[in-house]
Amino acid sequence: MDSSTAFIAASLMMLANGTVLGFMHGDLPVTLRPAARNWQSGTLLVACGCSLFAVQPLLPLTLTVTLSNALILLGLTAYYRALCAFYERAPRALLWLPAALGTLGVFWFSAFQPDTESRIVIISAAWLVLMGKSALILWQGAGRDDALSRRMLLGIFVGVFLFTTLRLVHYVTLRIGPDFSIADNASWMNLATPMLAATLPVIGTTAFLLMCSDRIRRQWERAASTDYLTGLPNRRTLSEAGAQRFKTARARREEFAIAVVDIDRFKAVNDQHGHEVGDIALRHVGRRLKAALRDGDLVARTGGEEFVVLLEGAGSVEAEAAAERLRAAVRLDPFAVGALSVPVTVSVGVAVCRTQDADFNALLRRADEALYAAKASGRNQVKLAA
């Protein structure tokens, strides 16, 4: 296989991947479509640039060299924009500068001062800048996303970055002449370049699609475990976490308690101010409860105006004190809607794990009974289950 054939084969693979991504674009969530659109554009631009290298002997050198390198640089810039969109980051200033300078440099050293080595140095520097910026975004994405697909794509960018560096060193140390062509078989690197460079548009596109799939999966998992209104864990998450913590506390003979928190006269808030204000009240109470938690505790919204707090390592004294902090955190901070200030209080029922509790649900029932006692005693107070 000669280098022209390699460029054609690489271009066809890239075009196929770009086309597949185009078909899948409409099935992606709206939030991921800008990233996918940029990635597809990058793949198609790189494919067109590689195809021009394949026909370089048939067209004027200045035209093919300048246009093909410009397309590849624009493609790498589109990859960078895709990753910025994926991680919801604004692209850095002078986004197009590497592509512009690289294209101008290639044009100068092909039209006015023909020199292949200078063109290789300029274009390699531009490639390295763009791939380095993309790799940096993926590296920084580890805090939000530790998916294998992200690490795969990072590895591809780093691999192509290292290959580009090796390619640059190879051609410089080879001391090539001004009329040296990278589209013939004069060097093994001419054949290796299109095959290894294709890993980013071909394998990289697969890794990018896997990143999108991982993001969608995590969003569904989060939606399944999170209350849509407050952002707190929902009843399903509470049941799983509560059962596990109950089991662990029993096995280790540690103390464990739960607090059931209910907003007082919440129906009156809805009736007087409307359901929209009621939703704001729920979010406000959720934030206040979360802010008042001890380390290791968990608060969930189980439905309506009810919340449940898991209190690890809490006996009767610690649990009652923690519940009082929760109650006070809500009472001392009325929520405001414009000029309207609405005072809100909560009643809290607390139950500490006892030997007679068969499971987490039994403990929860005792906390519910304590909550009813707090409501019956006048609300805005804490009651400890017997």
Q: Which residues are catalytic?
A: 305
| Lookup: tokens for 31 | 């939030």
CB-based contact 307:289 (threshold 8 Å): yes
CB-based contact 335:280 (threshold 8 Å): yes
SS3 state at 312: strand
SS3 state at 175: coil
Instruction: Measure the CA–CA gap between 41 and 39, rounded to whole angstroms.
Output: 5
CA distances from 338 to 70, 266, 277 (A): 54, 19, 11
Instruction: Measure the CA–CA gap between 233 and 153, rounded to whole angstroms.
Output: 32
What is the dihedral sign for C-alpha 334, 337, 342, 346? Answer: negative
Backbone dihedral angles phi then psi of residue 223, each to the nearest 5 degrees: -65, -35
Residues with Cβ < 8 Å from 223, sequence gap 6 or more? none
CB-based contact 313:307 (threshold 8 Å): no
Residue 45 φ/ψ region, left for φ over 0, alpha for ψ in the -120 to 50 degree band, beta for the rest: alpha
